Structure 1
Amino acid sequence: MAMIMYFVKRFLLLFLHTLLQFLLLRCGTSLDTITVSEPVTDDGKVLVSPGKTFALGFFSPGMSTHRYVGIWYYTAPEHTVVWVANRDNPINNNSGVLSIDAHGKLVLRVKDQSQHIWSTDTNVSKSNNNISTIAQLLDSGNLILTHDDERKMALWQSFDYPTDTSLPNMKLGLDQRTGLNRVLTSWKSKDDPGTGNWSYKMDSNGSPQLFLYQGKVPWWRSGHWNGDGWSGIPTLQNTSLFNISLVDNENEITTSWEVLTPGLLSTLVVNGSGLVQRYVYPERYSKWIMVGEAPFDECDKYGKCGAFGKCNKVSNEVECSCLPGLQKNASGVCVRKRGAASMCGSGVGFVKVPNVKVPDTSAARVKTGLSMEACRQLCLNNCSCTAYASVDAREEKGGCMNWNGDLIDTRVYGDGNGQSLYVRVDAVELDDLYHSRKTEAGFFASKKRLAITVVGMLVTSFLILLVVHLVIKRKRKGSANQTMFNEASSILFKDSPKLDERRGKPDLPFFELSTVVAATDNFSAANRLGQGGFGPVYKGQLANGQEIAVKTLSKSSRQGTEEFKNEVLLIAKLQHRNLVRLFGCSIHKEERMLIYEYMPNKSLDFFIFDEIRRQLLDWRKRFEIIVGIARGVLYLHQDSRLKIIHRDLKASNVLLDAAMNPKISDFGLARMFGDDQIEANTNRPVGTYGYMSPEYAMEGLYSTKSDVFSYGVLALEIISGKRNNHFHVGSPCLNLIGHAWDLWTEGKSLDIVDSSLGDEASYPAHEVLRCIQIGLLCVQEQATDRPSMLEVVFMLGNEVNVPSPNKPAFINRRIIDSGQDASGCAGAPASVNDITISALEAR
């Protein structure tokens, strides 16, 4: 009887347990494990990680009806799949079952069939204690197969078998104990997650580096690990947002990354277009935002300039040249000037090539702990050694790489992001370099004698030319402006077959409408970059591979033909690394288009006013941007052929290239000044609230000091990460300028610094303070008090005593317009470039 009661109790307990499990499932409780008795079936059931970050279940990608088992972000509205189990073996219907089989493996099969469609490749034997295995989905996005005990040791994990996506703390690379190589491989298409043609993998030879392959052909490489990050990905280095690391030892050669901002979702994806892209998902945006990609440009294409060649991107033009000691032969291949035999004799040495991504390091020999002098001597003693370089970007840390044979895939970085490569040259080459430097030194030593001769010749020539000049001066002076206007009118605003006669003119190149249509895919919505005051802007690619941005004049634009003509006539004559380059224009009937170089990182406001993206700009990069903008404005004011007042300098008119170098754009409102002209007046002040100087906004007076004011506002915005017109602290009418001034007078200027830069230990406080002080000097009330851009550039580049600023403008004023809120303070700033300010009054 006791035995019967025992079995009845056991039955009731088992029944109640089963009933409870059923009720929990019916009430929507999410499970995070798969057991022998709890498989995942294709009926809408999903596994959800404990913190509800990831989900696992069946899905159909895009327009496909095939079924796959995958993992995706559970909290993101977009169905972002990060891992697929049966990517090359889809199921044709909803009969799939993911379960633990009798051998303890995780298997995918079709109902009522024993054949496995997919399974873990680990044979898991049960222990003596008969402990079963389970599969668990973790909050990291990792699916692990483990014993159902307290240890939870992974017997198998999805992180070891990635598809196209890398997640935080997931390793890529080689396990040297097991031979496992973790590789990212693109999907075939958005409708097919099958193994695609692009793969991203670690090359453990020489100094480790990552390669992107198209099939088996290397397409791009990351460069070697230089201590701070991958040397060929300057825009994806460690920031306040991410930390990238490398483990290189006898057990593994792997890289991983982590997100430093709690709660921020992020992925690194290899897509079907051959790009490695990093995305973040800020919750308040409800969409994924790309914050970096590689490769960046044509120079990043592997081996672009061949063996012993180096690639340089100058003003969007790709230049291939040979490394020192080599020259191009008839076939365009770099060869030794005097043959390989000359490289092994007395007098050979090395020439320094600075700021480069060093050649492919898979063939390099690496010696740790060697100084640069020891590295040089090691290469010098080996006749086959063609070059050497430091392993670390900071040469004083030691470590040596040297190459035997060809040097492949060297590229130049113009912004100082690269490192130095020391190329072996023969004695004759060294002697030529020595004599060329000696000749140059001799020239400067005798420049005084040369100057006397030249001055005598110039005086004679001047006397002759003076007579001619006086005769034609009056005619030239009266007709110069009219000639320029007539030329612009005949070229830009009149349909005529004679346009063809002007094509190819260096200052005003023309593009056929058909060329622009083909480049932009008929102005497709997918190529639309945005909308400006001028009109919509489209991305395009010319037949030669050149990427362009096409700015079209819309009929509804508040800017018109005057601004179009102004931009063409001005910017076509300007050449500076901190000004956006105008390739040309296109005119067809009523259509007006400007063709610019394409800026992949959009505009400065896209970064500094975004809580996530501005974390990618550390202080060093912000300072480089501040200095770059200053140099661009100085060129406009002083060094260009035409003295230019920009009149609309603001964050959205500063574009960023692939290396985050600033380039000033949008010259539709700019004006030319004579060399001796100080200021001008207009009855129609145009520009953007918050950046206008007081004399321009209230009286229509503009000068170089108007641009200086705008620059000062922009510098303070870059430092603080806040808009001047959107800044409200204490008083609802206080703007960024006023807040910066209050902190300056209180001796607390560093309180204005963007919090994403960290505390004072994270940046050079003295340099930041100098920039804040310069910004306040630029926004002073009186134009005569403001420094010139030459003085600004000098103060930025030198440790000098910066004058104390006077009270700035607009800290106690408000603008009367329709954008005011109920309190009488100005509301959101106008983004229009063509606004007349009718009145300003004290608050």
Structure 2
Amino acid sequence: MGIESESVGCLNLSMFFLFILILLPPHYHCSQVYNITPLQPFVQGDTLVSPTGIFELGFFSPNGSANKYVGLWHKNIFPRKVVWVANREKPIAVTGSLASLRISSNGSLELVDGNQNSVWSTNVTIQVSSSSTSSFAAVLSDEGNFVVKDVTKAGQSIWQSFDYPGDTMLPTQRLGYNTKSKKGTILTAWKSESDPSSGIYTVEGGRATEVPAQVIIWINRSTPFWRSGPWDKSKFIGMPDMDDRYLNGFEVEENVEQGTEYFSLKLFDAFAAYIEISSQGKPKLMYSDNGRNWSIYWETLENRCDIYGACGPFGVCKASESPICKCLKGFVPKSHHEWSKGDWTEGCVRKTELFCERQKTKNSVPLQGIQDDNDDGFWKIVGAKVPDYYEYITSFNAQYTPNECKTQCLNNCSCLAYAYVNNIGCLVWSKDLNDIQKFSKGGVDLYIRLARKELGSSPTSRDTLLEYIGKYDPSELLIYDFDTMSTATDNFSITNKLGQGGFGPVYKGILQDGKEIAVKRLSSSSGQGIEEFKNEMLLISNLQHKNLVRMMGCCVKEDEKLLVYEFMPNKSLDTFLFDPMRRGELDWDRRFNIIQGIARGLLYLHHDSYVKVIHRDLKVSNILLDEKMNPKISDFGLARIIEGTQCVENTQKVVGTRGYMSPEYAMSGIFSEKSDVYSFGVLVLEIISSKKNNNFFLYDQQLGFLAHTWNLWSEGRGLELVDEVLGDSYCSSEVLKCVHIGLLCVQDNAVDRPSMKDIALMLSSKTDGPQPKRPLFTIQNSFSHPQLLYERTKSSTSEATITVIEGR
């Protein structure tokens, strides 16, 4: 009887589980598949996975909507970003019966709902014999490309999702246009975060008539909303945050014969990356270097000036000024009434008619060098985003020189402006000058044609600068000839470019005697003026220390200003520290030596040189490395001398790099040696961790770099800040000492920070400093908007704001 009861019990339990399985809806079934064939359709609940599990395709409902779509995404990176949607225009109701994705015997991929109604199809069919029923398969590649292949023809692709992008572009995917076929690929934003159907914003790889091409965002395919500026073979010159010292995510394929120009995205050593355009029309590049979560690499449309034509024709927009719009020199508002109300869209008109416009009977204006008060001339805007609708001027024999570009424009009455851009050449404009910006960093020199009477006084002459050099600088500072510098750098070839500093590009050069040099060029794409040039030349030529870069000389010719330095074969510290492939070369001994060397250099500037010097722009990219990886502080364009016993100064113009500026300097323009100490503290913590302070943010805790570091330290977990590539091969006492010093340096109040004398002593001995105070104010970059973050305490409810900063 007991045995029978037990059997009945087991039977009843089995029936119960069977009953539960019958009640469960079919979509609870879930399995991974690696292809779709005519004999194996893809049903709701399945996921299609790429060979190594990088990408996954499946059914999804965005943000809990009542609709279901087929899309694909990175399998293990969160938050999950859907990078392609099949049926974006025709969803399937969640409450409906099971949908499936199937492939027919003639190669057509089709999505059908539970009633077998067609929802979406590739509309590609191949004629096959009746015996080839299984000759096609749909697979997902590790690049994120959903492909239908003909298995009987060595896997020949007959359709791929890369040709039909949504709002996202993946690495190896191309965006562009073919002028001969009149076909191209574009990105189209989602209508909203929960609706993947086509929104109003589209991204296109330029217009077919533009060479070099630019990327444009359109509203309803007709009204420009944003543009990148032309491509200069390393970056878009209208996007100053695209720093060509690093791989910025883009490359361009040009084929003049085929009439194609395509932009594509590369991985730049990241695990994964993508570019998307949001439903609000904002593009951004996201990357993951750990395969688990996403970070922002760059994004645009940060301010009103980024919106196309914000200031109208012949207006120029500068985001840091108020109002943001001004008329170009020689122009006045077209409507003073609208302009006074903040409506600048009608733009500006010319005050004085051009000389060539008045010469109705002449075909050209006088050549350069034969000018009088009636001639036209050019006014230069430094650091500009060039206007839209440009024309590329080139010759069959050789590219135009800057002077030839100027003459070409001057001798053509319809030419309103020109620019000579490195790696592009001569660009000219004959239509209304629209969508001009003035950047605080980056950009190029733009020359606006004006009547001679509208031009102001000429810039500081070469003779004036040479007189200054002879008066103030030591005899060992050499004055180089420009032709010598041009020859040494192979005419400033892109192959000799070492990097892009805050005030201009730096090139490697070799003099006739074989000596290697580094040449900083401050003429094109530079916001550095005469005063900064003279400042750096005077300071570095008179400062001698093994941890300061040594200046060898300078060169001045017309608008060209060059500074010549000793060559540093290992470039700057950031080329190692922030490169996932190279940061392992910086073992702890090297990192500690670099920290000590920087400290010695600052100690010399603050205490041991004949004058006290405040650098004001200490950061990782301004630390150069010699052949033995010893550090040398560089870039003294913003440095200031503090006279006598004075220890604090104030400036109305706050310049520097966000994330490295002390609170008192960023907020009030007050700088002292303690401002450099703050920057040194940030730099030390970056060297320990290999993390960029202004590109770090813990979303789950709402913490920036310094706040995160403080939390680790205060919880006794300071060693967790160490770069993971070091493993256990570091001296824990030295690391903790450096973290301690870093936090002492970044304290809010300048008086609490140690001097460089104190720091040098702590680094070279077992002396411990006081306990650091918890930072309340931290300069951070919250990815979308640089800002001053304030961490509240129970006893403080005030808020802090940041006013004027010229970021670099």
Q: When the two structures are superposed, what TM-score results if normalisation uses the length of structure 1?
A: 0.54
Alpha carbons of 1:275 and 1:27: their partners in 2 closer, same or farther (altered >3 Å)? closer
Alpha carbons of 1:223 and 1:638: their partners in 2 closer, same or farther (altered >3 Å)? farther
Name the structure 2 match of 1:354: 382
Aligned AA (1:175): N
Name the structure 2 match of 1:697: none
5+ residue gaps, structure 2: 1-27, 340-346, 360-364, 367-374, 469-574, 584-616, 625-632, 691-708, 723-727, 742-752, 778-808
> Offset of 1:184 from its aligned partner?
1.2
Name the structure 2 match of 1:258: 266
Q: How far, CA to CA, are the matches of 2:306 and 2:406 in structure 1?
A: 28
Q: Choose the corresponding residue for 2:400, options 371, 380, 398.
A: 371
Query: How do residues 792-811 of structure 1 correspond to structure 2 at under 5 angstroms?
Result: 809=763, 811=765
Indicate the structure with greater helix content: 1
Aligned AA (2:436): T
Aligned AA (1:287): N
Residue 308 of structure 2 corresponds to residue 283 of structure 1 = no
CA RMSD of aligned residues (A): 4.7
Residue 343 of structure 2 corresponds to residue 389 of structure 1 = no
Q: How far, CA to CA, are the matches of 2:57 and 2:669 in structure 1?
A: 63
1:280-310 deviation digits (Å, cap 9, x = unpaired): 23437x4322232111212111111111121
What is the SS of the residue equivalent to 1:229?
A: coil
Q: How far, CA to CA, are the matches of 2:449 and 2:156 in structure 1?
A: 52
Alpha carbons of 1:238 and 1:136: their partners in 2 closer, same or farther (altered >3 Å)? farther
Q: Choose the corresponding residue for 1:217, options 213, 220, 223.
A: 223
> Offset of 1:255 from its aligned partner?
0.4
2:660 and 2:679 in contact (8 A); partners too: no
Q: Choose the corresponding residue for 1:170, options 164, 170, 173.
A: 173
1:383-437 deviation digits (Å, cap 9, x = unpaired): 11111223xx42xx5632211121111111122x11111222234335x545x98
Alpha carbons of 1:811 and 1:418: their partners in 2 closer, same or farther (altered >3 Å)? farther
Query: How do residues 429-508 of structure 1 correspond to structure 2 at under 5 angstroms?
Result: 429-430=454-455, 433=457
Q: How far, CA to CA, are the matches of 1:233 and 1:406 in structure 2?
A: 22
> Offset of 1:71 from its aligned partner?
0.8
Alpha carbons of 1:656 and 1:610: their partners in 2 closer, same or farther (altered >3 Å)? farther
Residue 767 of structure 2 corresponds to residue 813 of structure 1 = yes
Residue 254 of structure 2 corresponds to residue 248 of structure 1 = yes
Aligned AA (2:281): G
Alpha carbons of 1:340 and 1:425: their partners in 2 closer, same or farther (altered >3 Å)? closer
Query: How do residues 569-718 of structure 1 correspond to structure 2 at under 5 angstroms?
Result: 622-623=620-621, 643=648, 661=658, 664-667=661-664, 708-717=676-685
1:230 and 1:237 in contact (8 A); partners too: no
5+ residue gaps, structure 1: 1-25, 446-606, 647-654, 674-702, 742-777, 787-805, 818-828, 835-843
Residue 57 of structure 2 corresponds to residue 56 of structure 1 = yes
Residue 136 of structure 2 corresponds to residue 133 of structure 1 = yes
Name the structure 1 match of 2:526: none
What is the SS of the residue equivalent to 2:266?
A: strand
Q: How far, CA to CA, are the matches of 1:106 and 1:669 in structure 2?
A: 58
Q: Choose the corresponding residue for 2:164, options 141, 161, 164.
A: 161
Query: How do residues 332-347 of structure 1 correspond to structure 2 at under 5 angstroms?
Result: 332=339, 333-339=347-353, 342-343=356-357, 345-346=365-366, 347=375
Residue 122 of structure 2 corresponds to residue 95 of structure 1 = no
2:352 and 2:454 in contact (8 A); partners too: no
2:647 and 2:673 in contact (8 A); partners too: no
Alpha carbons of 1:288 and 1:614: their partners in 2 closer, same or farther (altered >3 Å)? farther
2:138 and 2:148 in contact (8 A); partners too: yes
1:222 and 1:231 in contact (8 A); partners too: yes
Q: How far, CA to CA, are the matches of 1:349 and 1:671 in structure 2?
A: 40
2:230 and 2:236 in contact (8 A); partners too: yes
Query: How do residues 383-422 of structure 1 correspond to structure 2 at under 5 angstroms?
Result: 383-390=413-420, 393-394=421-422, 397=423, 399-415=425-441, 417-422=442-447
Alpha carbons of 1:642 and 1:94: their partners in 2 closer, same or farther (altered >3 Å)? farther
Q: How far, CA to CA, are the matches of 1:656 and 1:126 in structure 2?
A: 69
What is the SS of the residue equivalent to 1:67?
A: strand
Name the structure 2 match of 1:753: none
1:31-90 deviation digits (Å, cap 9, x = unpaired): 322111111111x11111101111112111112121111111112243321100110101
Q: How far, CA to CA, are the matches of 1:243 and 1:300 in structure 2?
A: 20
What is the SS of the residue equivalent to 1:377?
A: helix
> Offset of 1:117 from its aligned partner?
1.8
Q: How far, CA to CA, are the matches of 1:668 and 1:421 in structure 2?
A: 32
Alpha carbons of 1:298 and 1:164: their partners in 2 closer, same or farther (altered >3 Å)? same
Q: Choose the corresponding residue for 1:322, options 323, 327, 345.
A: 327
Alpha carbons of 1:78 and 1:326: their partners in 2 closer, same or farther (altered >3 Å)? closer
1:635-693 deviation digits (Å, cap 9, x = unpaired): 9x789x994699xxxxxxxx999xx65573534999999xxxxxxxxxxxxxxxxxxxx
Identity of aligned residues (%): 26
Residue 152 of structure 2 corresponds to residue 149 of structure 1 = yes
Q: How far, CA to CA, are the matches of 2:304 and 2:667 in structure 1?
A: 33
1:188 and 1:196 in contact (8 A); partners too: yes
Name the structure 1 match of 2:41: 39
Residue 424 of structure 2 corresponds to residue 424 of structure 1 = no
> Offset of 1:210 from its aligned partner?
0.8
Q: How far, CA to CA, are the matches of 1:139 and 1:65 in structure 2?
A: 30
Q: How far, CA to CA, are the matches of 1:736 and 1:418 in structure 2?
A: 42
Alpha carbons of 1:87 and 1:29: their partners in 2 closer, same or farther (altered >3 Å)? closer
1:279 and 1:292 in contact (8 A); partners too: yes
Alpha carbons of 1:779 and 1:188: their partners in 2 closer, same or farther (altered >3 Å)? same
1:747-773 deviation digits (Å, cap 9, x = unpaired): xxxxxxxxxxxxxxxxxxxxxxxxxxx
* Higher Rg: 1
> Offset of 1:779 from its aligned partner?
8.2
Alpha carbons of 1:704 and 1:238: their partners in 2 closer, same or farther (altered >3 Å)? closer
Name the structure 2 match of 1:733: 733
Aligned AA (2:217): L
Q: How far, CA to CA, are the matches of 1:322 and 1:705 in structure 2?
A: 40
Name the structure 1 match of 2:85: 84
Q: How far, CA to CA, are the matches of 2:643 and 2:308 in structure 1?
A: 41
1:145 and 1:154 in contact (8 A); partners too: yes
Q: When the two structures are superposed, what TM-score results if normalisation uses the length of structure 2?
A: 0.56
Alpha carbons of 1:399 and 1:634: their partners in 2 closer, same or farther (altered >3 Å)? closer
1:11-31 deviation digits (Å, cap 9, x = unpaired): xxxxxxxxxxxxxxx998733
Name the structure 2 match of 1:70: 71
Aligned AA (2:241): T
Q: How far, CA to CA, are the matches of 2:767 and 2:165 in structure 1?
A: 58
Name the structure 2 match of 1:801: none
> Offset of 1:133 from its aligned partner?
2.3
Alpha carbons of 1:613 and 1:737: their partners in 2 closer, same or farther (altered >3 Å)? farther
